[in-house]
Amino acid sequence: MGRSKSGDRKRVVLATTLAITVAGSMSVAAQAQERMAPQSSVATRLFRFDIAAQPLPQALNEIGRTTGLAVIFTGSQPFNVTGRPVQGNLTPSQALAALLAGTGVTYRFTNPRTVTIDTGEQSGSVRGGSLPAGAISLDTIDVQGAGNPNSTMSLPPAYAGGQIARGGQLGMLGNRDMMDTPFNQTVYTRKLIENQQARILGDVLNNDPSVVKVFDSGGGFPRDQWFVRGVGANAQSVAFGGLFGIAQTQSGSMATEGIERVEVLKGASALLNGLPPSQLASLGTVNLVPKRAGDEPLIAFTPDYAMNSQAGGHLDVGQRFGDNKEFGIRFNGVYRSGDTPILNNSRETRVTAFGFDYRGETVRLSLDLGYQNQIMRGVREIIYLDSGVPIPRPPRNTANWGQPWQSYNSEHKYATTRGEWDINDSVTAYAAVGRSTIGVKTVENYMSVTDAAGTLLSAWYPSASIQYIQAATAEAGLRGRAEIGPVSHALALAAGWANEESGFEQNAGTPLPASNLYNPVYFPQPDFAPLGDPRHVPKNNRNENLGFALADTLSILNERVQLMLGIRHQNVKQMSFSTGASYDASALSPAAALIVKPWENVSLYANYMEALQAGAIAPRTSLNAGEVFTPYKTTQYEVGAKVDFGRIAMTLAAFTATRPTFALDPDTFIFGEVGKTRFQGIEMTAFGQATETIRFVGGVTLMDATLVETPDGINVGNRYGGIPKYRATLSMEWDTPFVDDLTLVAMGQYQSSTYFDDENIRKIGGWYRFDLNARYTIRQPGWKPIIVRATLRNVLDQSYWATTGYQLGLNEPRTFLLSTTFQF
């Protein structure tokens, strides 16, 4: 008890110290700025601009970042229009006028902090004709631009091609442009999600070469799980609107219909994000950005179909209100149900998502409410291998060794709210809180292959189970920018808290007779004792995290050189209600990153980052019984380069990370660190618009995951089980010249072989998959466009083991999807 109070006092002292430090720094910086610049509004202030001639979206993004103005775009992106250079000390209006001179593009201030870019396409005006009132002529773009650099509630613009965004959120640091990000991050836009007909998060992640899926999204198993840079990204490494523990991925799949963007950050990120409620280390995180109402009213209905008989629809409605469209409401609703191409397998999905937001001159607020229900019947469970049994030949991809009565039913409810307040032009305060509940009912029968003929026996008894997970999370902080002499500072102070409680109850039946992988035998469902509502299941465990972090990004030479330094104090608590065991420990996690821009379009970076994981208490059987170990650290070093050619961007990253293994040493009987695993790799990505009619997204990752230390030297030098050496992805779009408004898309994935486990004896074969996609836009005078999309996944109908090590699961069969979007 005394130790706990002492720990609390330390945290209070640390929090107070950090608060005083940042507040003092910002105060000094603000005073320095006040001495250097006159007190004036944003519209009349002079800003220093040095913007080279480049495509308009990038140039407008630079103006937004420099001035803190929100730049609102609508429609298609004019990457074929080049803005004029902007240099010197100018007001925002002068800079915009200089940039847009001769382009035929107009701009207007909709409020003192928001600029809207118009082409007249959607407003009904014509180039050369009359302009909207207040306009000072650009194709309209469908994204919110840079805006206040301290805010995360306006989105960075999309890059050329519209499939990848120019930047995303970096946890406590806020939104950053990709060229000012000393990490490897890829942000997938709503355009890519919709055009690929991605229905769940796993479908989107198929595009990322650094993400290795544990289960194929369409493989008949209802959970999403993956590896990033060789380390398992626990389901709760997924954030929703910047808050962890909210998204439905721990016991299911997150639907995409309510998602605007999917931000994938590769690498350790303890400083940026703290520790997710799962308290497991990861070398990658995903942030889901919810949809917001755009400036133009939206009513869209999309009926859809997928093999064999899945049918349903998606309703998307958005509207803004107020004199300056301050208030917004976005609604997304989904229902679909039917059989998949897998024998006896069916899926039913219900989604309701509301997004409310307010964007004032100095205050921004949002509220998200959601419900998701997923039901799968005839689940094709993963299977296991008995010791010494070779990897079996994959059966037909439509086969199902699972029993028809195996089922999965999850209900997910969530609510989050976020607010930002611009204390002045330089400092923004923010706070957010969220809560989610997940209730799961399952009837399972996991099988194990016992011989080379494919004989299946129950790995454990068939069972019915209920599970309940309740998470609450909150964060608050300050972001500020200031100039002291020749050095610019971007300071960030953050505090975060998360609590997760879970319960699990199971009733087992009797073992089933033998079946066969290639000739399954179906049996009647065993009798299970009835189970109640998941909400009433007794609690088993509780995890609680509390962290404080401070970071400062120092920039010189007009941000051509940037140095980020930061540190996080993280406290981790665990409680088992079943055994009474508890854990309470803390750790400090430092971080550093450097960006150097030798040329305007080239960014070189390096970073040192850590990932944290809950430690342990030495067991009673050890000589050091009761010793409390601080949270384990996975350390990462990374270097990289990014090149922006205006229409095509390329990134290159090389990293090495080391993760410790803690266990009881069989020789000394002392519990502690007994091994290390090293993860090294090279990541290469490219995306953009090669020509006016060709767009692409792709990349390749080379991985080397090696056991460098193990107890007694067993398996030292072996590859870490389940991680391939190579993974490559590519998606290419082509607007055909022979049919107007017809786009053809080809997508491919390749993944090399992996070892089943650390012994490196049994190997899972590599695989490749090709998808084809076509979309056609129907245009009629007086009507909004109608978009027809058709997708054929796994065109060659390949059958392969699509899972990583220690278990086996089949891939998605050849599947045809069709949808039509009507806008009203």
Q: In what order do the strands lie in the sheet with 515-516?
A: 383-385, 447-449, 455-458, 515-516
What does the domain layout of the chain look like in residue ranges?
321-823
What is the pLDDT averaged over residues 792-806? 92
What is the pLDDT averaged over residues 800-818? 92
How many Cα atoms occupy the beta-carbon half-sphere of 799 within 13 Å? 11
Task: Please state, in angstroms and rounded to a whole number, the distance separating the CA atoms of residues 571 and 179.
Answer: 33
User: How high is the pLDDT of residue 74?
Assistant: 57
User: How high is the pLDDT of residue 58?
Assistant: 79
Instruction: List pLDDT tens digits, range 156-177.
Output: 999 999 999 999 999 999 999 9
SS3 738: coil
Instruction: List pLDDT tens digits, range 103-115.
Output: 778 888 776 777 8
For residue 42, name the pLDDT band (cuts at 50, 70, 90).
low
SS3 123: coil
Instruction: List pLDDT tens digits, range 638-692.
Output: 999 999 999 999 999 999 999 998 888 878 889 888 889 999 999 999 999 999 9
Token pair recorded at residue 26: 């910002």
Instruction: List pLDDT tens digits, range 261-270.
Output: 999 999 999 9
Nearest to 502 by CA among 273, 253, 222, 251: 251
What is the pLDDT averaged over residues 298-308? 97
User: How high is the pLDDT of residue 456?
Assistant: 96
Query: Which CATH number fits the domain 321-823, given the four candidates 3.40.50.170, 3.20.20.210, 3.40.50.300, 2.40.170.20?
Result: 2.40.170.20
Look at residue 466 and tell me whether its pLDDT is greater than 60.
yes
User: How high is the pLDDT of residue 151?
Assistant: 87
Higher-confidence residue: 175 or 620?
Answer: 175
Q: Is residue 613 a contact partner of residue 578, using CB atoms and an 8 Å limit?
A: no
What is the pLDDT averaged over residues 122-141? 39
What is the pLDDT averaged over residues 486-490? 95
Distances (CA, A) of 380 to 128, 219, 344: 61, 8, 9
Higher-confidence residue: 787 or 575?
Answer: 787
Q: Is residue 508 a contact partner of residue 462, using CB atoms and an 8 Å limit?
A: yes
Mean pLDDT of the chain: 87
Look at residue 573 and tell me whether its pLDDT is greater than 80.
yes
Nearest to 632 by CA among 245, 238, 270, 169: 270
Token pair recorded at residue 783: 């009507």
For residue 20, name the pLDDT band (cuts at 50, 70, 90).
very low
User: How high is the pLDDT of residue 80?
Assistant: 65
Task: Please state, in angstroms and rounded to a whole number, the distance separating the CA atoms of residues 250 and 254.
Answer: 9
Instruction: List pLDDT tens digits, range 722-769.
Output: 999 999 999 999 999 999 999 999 999 999 999 999 999 999 999 999
User: How high is the pLDDT of residue 130?
Assistant: 39
Instruction: List pLDDT tens digits, range 325-368.
Output: 999 999 999 999 999 999 999 999 999 999 999 999 899 999 99
What is the pLDDT averaged over residues 478-497? 96
Contacts of 315 (CB under 8 A, 6+ apart): 300, 301, 302, 331, 332, 333, 334
- 193-202, 460-469, 675-684, 813-822: range with lowest mean pLDDT: 460-469
User: How high is the pLDDT of residue 236?
Assistant: 62
User: How high is the pLDDT of residue 657?
Assistant: 96
For residue 119, name the pLDDT band (cuts at 50, 70, 90).
low
Write the DSSP assignment of 264-298 as a string of letters.
EEES--HHHH---TT----SEEEEEEEP---SS-E
Beta partners for 50? 87
User: How high is the pLDDT of residue 270?
Assistant: 94
Q: Integer distance in angstroms from the first to the last C-alpha of the chain?
A: 63
Write the DSSP assignment of 38-92 as a string of letters.
----TTT--EEEEE-S-BHHHHHHHHHHHH--EEE--SS--TTSBPPPEEEEE-H
Percentage of the residues of the chain whose pLDDT score is greater than 70: 89
Percentage of the residues of the chain whose pLDDT score is greater than 90: 62
User: How high is the pLDDT of residue 220?
Assistant: 82
Pick from 253-257, 262-266, 613-617, 627-631 the range whose average pLDDT is largest. Answer: 262-266
User: How high is the pLDDT of residue 76?
Assistant: 54
Length of the chain measured in residues: 824
